[in-house]
A and B are shown apart, each in its own frame.
Chain A
Amino acid sequence: MREIAYDDLVKSVKAMVMHTASHLPEDALKAIEEAYRNEKSEVAKSVLKQILDNAHLAAEEDRPLCQDTGLAVFFVKVGEDVKVTGGSIRDAINQATEEAYKEGFLRASTCDCFDRHNLKDEVGYNLPAIIHFDLVPGDRIEIEYAAKGGGSENVSRATVLAPAQGKEGIKNFVKQVISDAGPNPCPPIIVGIGIGGTFEVAAKSSKHALFREAGTPNPDPELDAFEKEIKEELNKLGIGAMGMGGTQTVLAVHIEKNPCHIASLPVSVNVQCHSSRHSHITL
């Protein structure tokens, strides 16, 4: 059984969380640069320019890219032959999140659902982190992380279609969601689509789909073609950067598909704004 010390885990996760707040990853940068080159609208182009300038400035000066520094979302794959000594993995991730958000001058954004008061003093600064665990073979711990803002999360939707609605039904649902969202999720966006499984599996898949590097092909050729088809459809909506009208609304469409019940076709759409702050480490 391989061992990883609790403190080392905290240190690695904390460094990743702090870095991600101010450094837009390469895949997002490249996708926005491409959108900038292809955009036909002058207004949208000027917005994309600001987004790129912001990314460079944030990285140079180590400032948060956006004031909504998000909820901390993790997908964690734990090998069956590795053990963390000196504490639990969940505690380590929460501790790393709290320390990174505090020391990095990031915003604490978790609150109570009903009276909306900030939970930073009771539960912890920007805690609890959202953690999805998975048990896998091997002796590694793989951690994928995203700082997920509220604006794009607010327009995300899930449904269960009738099987007969098929791919056409999925496409129409996605189109409706993105059309209704308009300027609100800070386009240009990345669209994560989870198909199949049960209701909650579709939702989780749509979130996880956002972690794939934008611009990389889907390993399944049928899904890859479907992603391209949906992206083209969505860009016809004309929403443009920050909704001001334009040809470049969607940077990428990512799909994850799971087997589902013979009676249902669950579909979930999770929207990611242009501030696609994600990274991963393997320990």
Chain B
Amino acid sequence: MAEYHMTTPLSDEDVSKLQAGDIVYLSGTIYTARDAAHKRLVDLIEKGEQLPFDLKGSVIYFVGPTPPKPGEPIGSAGPTTSYRMDSYSPILIEHGQKGMIGKGKRNQAVKDACKKYKAVYFGATGGAGALIAKSIKKAEVIAYPELGPEAIRRLEVENFPVTVINDTHGNDLYEMGRAKYEVKD
């Protein structure tokens, strides 16, 4: 496994060199969205309307943080389970999204989209919300404030630690890792 430092927006070249199992420290701007926000983004694409942020090269983090304490940009902010975004992610990837950060398995359609349009699915450590919040320097709600924790936020991150789960070559770390350590009687 290799280690990389990368800054968003990500290019085809950036994501193509990543392999399942690599560790990446992400810096720059990323966006938060959960299922409700994803649904709205996809609706906008289908209607041909403008999105609240530029999808090209973007990284979306699946998170619903705790409320920030006064004077802090964000509360605890670890990843949520990603399968709830499976029906939306392929459409966003087709329109230029390059990275997703979450936890847990994705379906075949997402993996296929990663391969076809060059995008990666990163895993962050679930339950490490306090630690991850340390790498988030700024947070600002940019759309759908009425969704509360599910609103779309623009985050400025520094060295956000993630692991490549699904790469652009069709590999899946969950399958590879498990196959390597599974003991069959």
Find out whether the CB atom of A107 lies under 8 angstroms from the CB atom of B1. Answer: no
Of the listed stretches B6-14, B89-97, B176-184, chain A binds B176-184
A275 and B69 CA atoms in complex are apart in Å by 21
Question: Of the 9-residue stretches B40-48, B60-68, B107-115, which lies at the interface with chain A?
Answer: B60-68
Q: Once bound together, how far apart are the Cα atoms of A69 and B182, in whole Å?
A: 32
Asked whether, in the complex, the Cβ of A238 is within 8 Å of the Cβ of B127, the reply is no
Contact residue among A43, A107, A184, A247 (Cβ-Cβ distance under 8 Å from B104) = A184
| Complex contact A63–B133 (CB within 8 A) | yes
Given A183-B105, A243-B178, A64-B130 contact (CB < 8 Å) = yes
Contact with A along B64-101 (1 / 0, CB 8 A): 11111100000111101101000000000000000000
B170 at the interface (CB under 8 A from A): no
A244 at the interface (CB under 8 A from B): yes
Proximity string of chain B (107-131) to chain A, C-beta cutoff 8 Å, 1 when within and 0 when not: 0000000000000000101111111
Asked if A154 is at the interface of the complex by the 8 Å CB criterion, the answer is: yes
- Check B103–A186 contact: CB distance below 8 A: yes
CA distance A97 to B68 in the complex (A): 19
What's the Cα separation between A135 and B177 when bound, in Å? 48
Pick the residue among A57, A151, A244 that contacts B173 (CB under 8 A).
A244
Q: Does A280 contact B (CB under 8 A)?
A: no
B24 contacts the other chain (CB 8 A): no
Judged by a CB distance under 8 angstroms, whether A81 is at the interface is: no
Report the bound CA distance from A240 to B179 in whole Å.
Answer: 11
- Inter-chain contact B123/A244, CB cutoff 8 Å: yes
What separation, in Å, do the CA atoms of A154 and B181 have in the docked complex? 25
Within A241-265, the residues touching B (CB, 8 Å) are 242-247
Q: Are A67 and B65 in contact (CB under 8 A)?
A: yes
Choose among B21, B78, B125, B130 the residue that contacts A57 (Cβ–Cβ < 8 A): B130
Closest to B64 in A: A67
- Cβ of B156 to closest chain A Cβ, rounded Å: 18
Interface membership of chain A positions 40-53, coded 1 if the CB is closer than 8 angstroms to chain B and 0 otherwise: 11111011001101
Report A-chain residues with C-beta under 8 Å of the C-beta of B69.
Answer: 105
Q: Which of A44, A57, A236, A238 contacts B134 (CB 8 A)?
A: A57
Q: In chain B between 134 and 185, which residues have their CB closer than 8 angstroms to a CB of chain A? A: 134, 148-149, 161, 163, 165, 173-174, 176-185
B128 and A51 within 8 A (CB): yes
Given A67-B63, A184-B103, A238-B179: A244 touches B129 (CB 8 Å cut-off): no
Contacting residues, chain B, for A68 (C-beta < 8 A): 64, 78, 80, 129
CB distance from B63 to the nearest CB of A (A): 7
Known contacts A54-B125, A106-B66, A243-B174; A151 and B81 CB within 8 A of each other:
yes
Q: Is B59 an interface residue (CB 8 A)?
A: no
Q: Judge whether B30 is part of the interface by a CB distance below 8 angstroms.
A: no
Residue of B nearest to A106 (CB): B66
Q: Is A73's beta carbon under 8 Å from chain B?
A: no
B174–chain A nearest beta-carbon distance, Å: 5
Residues of B near A242 (CB, < 8 A) are 103, 123, 125-126, 163
A107 to B182, CA, bound (A): 36
CA distance A65 to B132 in the complex (A): 10
Contact B130 A244 (CB under 8 A): no
Contact assessment for A105 and B178 in the assembled complex, using a CB-CB cutoff below 8 Å: no
B149 lies within 8 A of A246 (CB): no
Q: Name A66's contact: one of B127, B161, B181, B184 (CB within 8 Å).
A: B127
With an 8 A cutoff between CB atoms, is A131 at the interface?
no
Contact B64 A107 (CB under 8 A): yes
| Complex Cα spacing A64 to B128, Å | 9
Q: Beyond A118-B148, A182-B105, A245-B177, is A105–B68 a contact (Cβ under 8 Å)? A: yes
Are A43 and B177 CB-contacts (below 8 A) given A106-B66, A118-B148?
yes
Question: In the complex, what residues of A have CB within 8 A of residue B23's CB?
Answer: 46
Pick 8 A–B contacts, CB within 8 A, sort by A: A22-B130, A46-B23, A47-B125, A54-B128, A57-B131, A69-B66, A107-B64, A246-B181
6 new A-B contacts, CB < 8 A, other than A43-B21, A107-B149, A244-B163, are A22-B130, A57-B131, A66-B78, A67-B129, A151-B80, A183-B103
- A residues contacting B by CB (< 8 A) are 22, 40-44, 46-47, 50-51, 53-54, 57-58, 61, 63-69, 105-107, 118, 149-151, 154, 182-184, 186, 236-240, 242-247, 273-275
Nearest first, the 6 closest Cβ-Cβ pairs linking A and B are A245-B177, A238-B181, A238-B182, A186-B126, A236-B183, A54-B131
